[in-house]
């Protein structure tokens, strides 16, 4: 490993450590949560909401259909 590569690795490690130290501060955590995390989740939920509703409706319909089919099979078996 050359001297330049060692300097680069050292520099990168130092930057990572500085980043981690900065992210551990409470005010930075609060800003990240307020301005990055919460808006991202809100945006994702707004975009996915119609698909969640459609999936839920399909699931309920499949469940109801399964119950009806089971009921009909049981009724047919008892009638024979």
**pLDDT one-digit tens code per residue, 14-71:** 999 999 999 999 999 999 999 999 999 999 999 999 999 999 999 999 999 999 999 9
Give residue 79's pLDDT band: very low, low, confident or very high (50, 70, 90): confident
Number of domains the chain is built from: 1
Token readout for 15 is 């930057």
Is a pLDDT exceeding 70 seen at residue 80? no
* Residue 58 belongs to domain spanning: 3-79
**48: Cα within 13 Å, side-chain hemisphere:** 9
Residues 20 and 60: their CA atoms lie apart, in Å, by: 46
| pLDDT at residue 77 tops 90 | no
Instruction: Tell me what pLDDT residue 74 has.
Output: 93
């Amino acid at each position: 490993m050359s001297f330049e590569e060692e300097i680069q690795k050292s520099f990168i490690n130092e930057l990572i450590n500085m980043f981690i130290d900065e992210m551990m501060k409470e005010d930075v955590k609060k800003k990240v949560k307020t301005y990055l995390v919460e808006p991202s989740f809100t945006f994702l939920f707004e975009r996915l909401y119609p698909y969640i509703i459609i999936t839920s409706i399909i699931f309920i319909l499949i469940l109801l259909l399964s119950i009806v089919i089971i009921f009909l099979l049981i009724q047919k078996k008892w009638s024979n």
